Amino acid sequence: MKTKFIGVYGETCAGKSTVGEYLSSAMNCRYISFGDLKRDEIANSTEIGVLIEDLLRSGSRIHADLGGSVKL
């Protein structure tokens, strides 16, 4: 069986979590929040968490290809 991923992108408070949770329920699949993952990585001071925190402190955006710059 193939794994499918759906990404929901939008501005702050646009309703991404609401849509993600609805899709998860409707499609009977897991919902993963990027915000939760980001906060966990920062809290655990992982390599990518430190990079994300540095980007946030400098006011830079977190790009989708960020993982490509860190060995996971």
Express each pLDDT in 8-63 by its tens digit: 888 888 999 999 999 999 998 888 888 888 899 999 999 999 999 999 999 988 77
Residue 67 belongs to a domain? yes
Looking at residue 49, its amino acid is: G
- What domain count does the chain have? 1
What is the pLDDT at residue 53?
92
Token pair for 51: 């990079």
Residue 45 belongs to a domain? yes
Residue 14 belongs to a domain? no
Please give the C-alpha separations between residue 19 and each of 4, 24, 64, in angstroms, as whole numbers. Answer: 16, 8, 20
Q: Under a CB-based contact definition with an 8 Å cutoff, are residues 31 and 38 in contact?
A: no
Residue 21 belongs to a domain? no
What is the pLDDT at residue 72?
47
Q: Where in the sequence is the domain holding 72, given as residue range(s)?
A: 33-72
